[in-house]
Amino acid sequence: MTALTDIPRANPQAPDAPRLPRRGAVRHSGADVGPSRATRIVVLSMAALFLGLPLFALGAFTVRGGLKGGVTLSHWHDLFGGELGAASGPLWSGLQNSLLLSVVTVVVMLALLVPTMILVRLHLPRLERVLEFVCLLPLTIPAVALVVGLAPVFSVVARVFGSGSWTLAFAYVIVTLPYSYRAIQANLAAVDVVTLAEAARSLGASWTATMRDVLLPNLRRGMLAASFISIAVVLGEFTIASLLSRTNLQTALVLVSKRDPYVSNIVVLLSLVFALVLLFALGRVGTQTRRSRP
C-alpha cells in the first residue's frame, strides 16, 4: 500500500483562513456609516408608536366595561370561558377552517412551487421569465374578478372534493403565489443550486436524494418565508371566502362582530399579534441564515 506523503497541513490560523467571529461578538464592516444611535432610537420609537398605538387601543377597547365603564376582563372570560355560547360558534369554526386552510395552502403551494422552480432553474432556465409572469399574474387580478372566474371552477371542485371550507385552499394557493414565488426565488438566487445538484449527482445521489439532502435544506429559508407569508395572507383573507359562501376567520369575525363587538375585537387583536409573531419569526429566520452564510 502506498501512502500519501508530506501533505501540508492547513493552519486554522493561516492568513487565508476566514476568522470566525467570537460568540456574541458584533461584526462591524468598515466605517460606521449608519445613522447615529439617537436617530435610530427616535425612528424606532416612532415606528413602535405607529404600530403599537392601534394595538394598544384595540386592547384597551377589549377590557372596557361597556356602559358601566371601568376595566374588566369579562369579555376575554366570555370568549375563552365558553360563556358566549352559540355566539362564539362561528368564530371557532372559522378559526379552525382558517388554520386548516393555512396548512393545506402551504402544503399545496410548496408541493407545486418548489419542485417546479427547481426544475426550471436546473433544466429549463429559458422558462424562468414565463414562470415569473404566471406566478405574479394574480397580483394584477382583483379578488372579486378572481372569484367570478373561480366560481365555475369551484362547482367542479365541489363535485370532486366536496364543498368543505378547506377547498378554498386551491384559490388561496393562487392568491399567495406571487408572495411565495418571490420568497423562494430570492433564496434560489442566493444559492448555486445547479452546481450543488451536479456535485450531489457526481457523488452518486439520485434525484430524490439530491432534493432531500442537498437542495431542500438549502432552500429552507425561502420555503419558511413563503409559508409564513401564505399563512398571514390566508388568515386575513375575506373576499373570496365571503363571495364563495365559505366560513373562515374573517367572515366569522364579521358575523360575530354584529352580535358582540368585544369578541370580534379580541380575536382581531390576537390575529394581529399572531401575524406580528410570524413576521418576527420570519426576520429571525433571515438573520440566522445570514449568520450561517458568508
Partner 1 sequence: MTATSTSTPTSSDSDGPAGGLGSGAVQPNAVAATVEMIDVVKDYGSARALSGFTLSMQPGELVALLGPSGCGKTTALRALAGLTPITSGTMRVDGEAVAHLPTNKRDVGMVFQSYSLFPHMTAQDNVEYGLRMRKVPKAERRTRASEMLSSVGLEELGHRYAHELSGGQQQRVALARALVTQPSVLLLDEPLSALDAKVRVELRELIRRIQTELRITTLFVTHDQEEALAMADRVAVMSDGVIRQIGTPEDLYSRPTSAFVADFVGLSNRVAGTLTAGTITAYGTTFDLLGDSLPDGPVVALVRPEDVTFGDTGVPGTVITSSFLGSLRRTIVRLEDSSVLTVQHDASDVKLAGAEVSIAFTGRPVSARKP
Interacting residues with partner 1 (CB under 8 A)? 1-10, 12, 14, 16-18, 20, 191-192, 195-196, 198-206, 209, 213-214, 217-218, 292-294
Provide, rounded to whole angstroms, the least separation between the CB of residue 10 and partner 1.
5
Contact 227, 106 (CB under 8 A): yes
CA distances from 140 to 36, 144, 151, 212, 232 (A): 40, 12, 18, 34, 19
**Looking at beta carbons only, is 147 or 196 nearer to partner 1?**
196
Provide, rounded to whole angstroms, the least separation between the CB of residue 29 and partner 1.
15
Provide, rounded to whole angstroms, the least separation between the CB of residue 124 and partner 1.
15
**Looking at beta carbons only, is 14 or 67 nearer to partner 1?**
14
- 3-state helix/strand/coil string of the chain: CCCCCCCCCCCCCCCCCCCCCCCCCCCCCCCCCCCCHHHHHHHHHHHHHHHHHHHHHHHHHHCECHHHCCECCHHHHHHHCCCCHHHHHHHHHHHHHHHHHHHHHHHHHHHHHHHHHHHHHHHCHHHHHHHHHHHHHHHHCCHHHHHHHHHHHHHHHHHHHCCCHHHHHHHHHHHHHHHHHHHHHHHHHHCCHHHHHHHHHHCCCCHHHHHHHHHHHHCHHHHHHHHHHHHHHHHCCCHHHHHCCCCCHHHHHHHHHHHCHHHHHHHHHHHHHHHHHHHHHHHHHHHHHHHHCC
Provide, rounded to whole angstroms, the least separation between the CB of residue 111 and partner 1.
22
Provide, rounded to whole angstroms, the least separation between the CB of residue 215 and partner 1.
10
- Residue (of 253, 259, 205) closest to 87 by Cα position: 259
**Looking at beta carbons only, is 140 or 195 nearer to partner 1?**
195
Provide, rounded to whole angstroms, the least separation between the CB of residue 246 and partner 1.
40
Provide, rounded to whole angstroms, the least separation between the CB of residue 183 and partner 1.
18
| Other CB atoms within 10 Å distance of the CB of residue 130 | 11
Provide, rounded to whole angstroms, the least separation between the CB of residue 2 and partner 1.
5
**Looking at beta carbons only, is 199 or 273 nearer to partner 1?**
199
**Looking at beta carbons only, is 14 or 160 nearer to partner 1?**
14
**Looking at beta carbons only, is 69 or 204 nearer to partner 1?**
204
**Looking at beta carbons only, is 191 or 255 nearer to partner 1?**
191
**Looking at beta carbons only, is 14 or 26 nearer to partner 1?**
14
In sequence order, which residues have a C-beta less than 8 Å from that of residue 216 and are 6 or more positions away?
114, 223
